[in-house]
Amino acid sequence: MQNALPAEVVVWVIVGAVFGALFGSKLLAWLESAREYWAQRDNPAAWLGGKTIVGGLLGGWIGVELVKRRMHITRRTGDAFVIPLCLGIAIGRIGCFLTGLPDHTYGTATSLPWGVNFGDGIARHPTQLYESMFALLLGLLLMALVLRRHHPAGDAFRWFVIAYLGFRFLVEFIKPSDKPLLGLSAIQVASLLGITAAAMSMSAFRSRPSDVMAGARGEQV
């Protein structure tokens, strides 16, 4: 098994993830609700509110990759974040559900028996709970993959990205969000870009025998 990364390197990777996630979550929130933010352009404090998980995920990934490139790190480190991300999303979305309408993460109106009235008299898809349950199931599936370690290093993270962003792309169709981009929202476009990047990255690394063997031996962070 490869030696662990030096503590200083780990710190910088975490810094890249945190600041990348902060920037990405805010940028995509602004793009997703551009009209609402523009309407409050004279209120700078309003621009500080709002964030998106998709933007945070993609921004954090980009931040980590920039740090690794800067520090000439070639080892794939994403697998270590998969289970915490799944748990964080599952728990966080329960909080979104309990917040109700002010959180703006609810779904469109539905006649299904599990529709939830968040206080406005309309039964809506509880999309927060859909996402929470999906994240838990995805975490269990990927936990088996990570624990078995019979896979190329980094594949668990990329499968997480593909599965989660695929879910977000689909569930956005039952959310009352602006969809000005050929019937798609900014989050849906970002999700498609993230899926493409993860699939291309996985394909590129699978073509390198050393990475495949390293994953098979469990040589990863």
Task: Specify the pTM.
Answer: 0.84
Which pLDDT belongs to residue 41? 73
Pick out the chain residues at pLDDT < 70.
1-9, 45-49, 146-150, 205-221
Residue range 17-29, pLDDT digits in tens:
888 888 888 888 8
Which pLDDT belongs to residue 147? 64
Give the chain as a DSSP string: -PPPPPHHHHHHHHHHHHHHHHHHHHHHHHHHTHHHHHHTTT-GGGGGS---HHHHHHHHHHHHHHHHHHTT--S--GGGGHHHHHHHHHHHHHHHHHH-GGG-----B--STT-EE-SSS-EE--HHHHHHHHHHHHHHHHHHHHHH--S-TTHHHHHHHHHHHHHHHHHGGGS----TBTTB-HHHHHHHHHHHHHHHHHHHHHT-HHHHHHHHTT---
Residue range 95-147, pLDDT digits in tens:
999 998 888 889 999 999 999 999 999 999 999 999 999 999 999 998 887 66
Strand partners, 116: 124
User: Domain boundaries in the chain?
Assistant: 7-216
